[in-house]
Structure 1
Amino acid sequence: MSDVPAPAPARPRVEPPPRPVAPGLYLVATPIGNLRDITLRALDVLGAADLVLAEDTRVTARLLTAYGLKAKLERADDHAGGRAAELAVEAVAAGQVVALVSDAGTPLVSDPGYVVARAVIAAGLPVHPIPGPSSLLAALSVAGLPADRVLFAGFAPPKSAARRTFLEGLAAEKATLVLFETGPRLRESLKDMAAVLGPRPAAVARELTKLYETCVRGALTELAADPALDAPKGEIVVVIGPGEAEAASPDDVDRALTEALGRLPPGEAAAEVARALGQSRKTLYRRALELKAG
């Protein structure tokens, strides 16, 4: 008798059964490059949809064809938003399933669709998110920068003067910044970012999930001079690390303590200001007693 153990029985492939798709508007995230990034729920909804509102019907038609799906397609770009909103409200009110998609990624994130979603919500009809691919989150995950506090700023203005004013408004934010940019504008945009924000750590992610996916990391001043980033093609996301907090001046400390002492005893006031300004609680407690006595 052979001593070789019998192979373990193959584990059955278990997938949650698809649930019936109820009437409503579904905001469906679609792949940002690799078509295999579509989710099972997205396929369920697109397969059940009576109407698909698309930023570009040609792009969405290719996606549907890749998965053997057919659906009635209508445009929902910036020019057709009003009509698309009317179609969506009428269809959902009649008990139909409507899917809203952009060319890539999650609808409404720097993409058309807000007018449609707002109209359906205003009509008191159901709206459901079908989450999935997002270039914003994909770039943030590979940038190697803090992701505990993030500010998404969309596209910066195309002209340098307006762009610098826009960036100056973000300079004080103690958060990682995420912006979208186009290839032809990337070089000048990076120069403006370096001039306004300084040598902050940053990453430029391009063509994420696609064949020529790249992520170039470095200080903004270095990226602004990198020849590899001279008008690259494809979708681009710029991720910029947060600025360093400036040390509070003695006057700032006294103002914060005085305000806190108006509400709290010295010990609690010192603890609150210590957390806010990143300073020693013990030192602030002594100063709080001095201010209280004075």
Structure 2
Amino acid sequence: MPASTETDSAAIDPSQASAEVSDGHLYVVATPIGNLGDLSPRALRVLSAVNAICAEDTRVTGALLSHFGVRARLIALHEHNETDIAGKLVARLLAGESLALVSDAGTPLVSDPGFALVRASRAAGVPVMTVPGPCAVVAALSVSGLPSDRFVFEGFLPSRRGARRSRLEALADCRDTLIVYESSHRIAECLTDCAEVLGADRRICLARELSKRFEQSVTDTAARLCQWLTQDSNRTRGEFVLVIEGAAEAERPDDAEHILRVLLSELEPSRAARVAAELTGQRKNALYKRALEMSAPPVQ
């Protein structure tokens, strides 16, 4: 998420900055997701002291550093070149240089580039240090009001509707809270798919523009969120995190099978599966498949 410019620059003590880094170390540095005031003092010192900064977009990181009066050598490291240049960067680290890794916003490697460099550095025995800070995943989860003891982060769902719905189908029975990123031009379609695939009553927190001026987070059922989103065009603007309630615990398989057997004595398989799904909370497709198996004539 691009950072805004809502705070004043801070002075940097060169002696403190140089003491913060060690030769031959890679520093993975979190940067603001919206409010520049969220850049930690330690992160600022590290970015001021390293020999070079590996940045997803040098223009974005350059603007951030300029705001704080930091002059640093920037190296472009993004999804299109990171595999190719990781070896060269590791060689520099082994030669004693200190490097920082940043993304455009938030914590690197969380749906951002950097994995190839971190993996190559570790394989070469280079110390990799964390400078923690903002992360949209954790920020959204913390304000969602949904269970946070166990969660699954899916990054961005597929952009094509069919593939997106297939992925949601695969995740529909997951009991853990699910977190995804979404863009402004797909958020309405994504919410509609969530309501249709996961269920209209599944609770979802829609968080947008986190830590920015127009930050907003709303937790409601998927169906009501779809309606809420259409009531104001401004609600589809910005960058989104969806925090999705995990699937409810289903009835025991033996209970569902017993219900199916009773229903099949009076109803055809498709209708029996539909009624059993309403009674047990289990997936209709799975119950229909089981109903067909149960109603099939025995093999002679």
After TM superposition, the score normalised by the length of structure 1 is: 0.77
Partner of 1:214: 216
User: Pick from 207, 213, 218: which aligns with 1:205?
Assistant: 207
- The answer to whether the 8 A contact 2:20-2:46 is kept is no
**CA displacement 1:92-141 (0-9 Å, x = unmatched):** 11111100100000000001111111111121211111110001111111
**Residues 60-79 of structure 1: pairs in structure 2 closer than 5 A:** 60-79=61-80
C-alpha separation in 2, matches of 1:145 and 1:177: 10
Partner of 2:13: none
- The answer to whether the 8 A contact 1:191-1:224 is kept is yes
Partner of 1:96: 97
Aligned length: 237
**Residues 275-286 of structure 1: pairs in structure 2 closer than 5 A:** none
Identity %: 45
Return the letter of the residue paired with 2:209. E
Say which SS state the counterpart of residue 106 (structure 2) adopts. coil
Say which SS state the counterpart of residue 239 (structure 1) adopts. strand
**Residues 34-113 of structure 1: pairs in structure 2 closer than 5 A:** 34-113=35-114
- The answer to whether the 8 A contact 2:173-2:247 is kept is yes
- Unpaired runs of 5+ in structure 2? 1-15, 257-300
Partner of 1:148: 149
Partner of 2:292: none
Greater Cα radius of gyration, structure 1 or 2: 1
C-alpha separation in 1, matches of 2:225 and 2:29: 34
C-alpha separation in 2, matches of 1:177 and 1:100: 27
Partner of 2:133: 132
- The answer to whether the 8 A contact 1:187-1:229 is kept is no
Deviation of 1:171 after TM superposition, in Å, equals 0.9
C-alpha separation in 2, matches of 1:71 and 1:223: 44
Deviation of 1:218 after TM superposition, in Å, equals 0.8
Return the letter of the residue paired with 1:221. A
**Residues 13-24 of structure 1: pairs in structure 2 closer than 5 A:** 19-23=19-23, 24=25
**CA displacement 1:48-87 (0-9 Å, x = unmatched):** 1101000000110111111111110010111121344134
- Where in structure 1 do 4 or more consecutive aligned residues deviate above 3 Å? 17-20, 228-231, 249-252
User: Pick from 235, 240, 251: which aligns with 2:239?
Assistant: 235
Deviation of 1:249 after TM superposition, in Å, equals 4.0
C-alpha separation in 2, matches of 1:228 and 1:44: 45
C-alpha separation in 1, matches of 2:85 and 2:77: 5
Deviation of 1:233 after TM superposition, in Å, equals 2.2
C-alpha separation in 2, matches of 1:127 and 1:55: 18
- The answer to whether the 8 A contact 1:53-1:84 is kept is no
How much is the aligned-residue C-alpha RMSD, in angstroms? 1.9
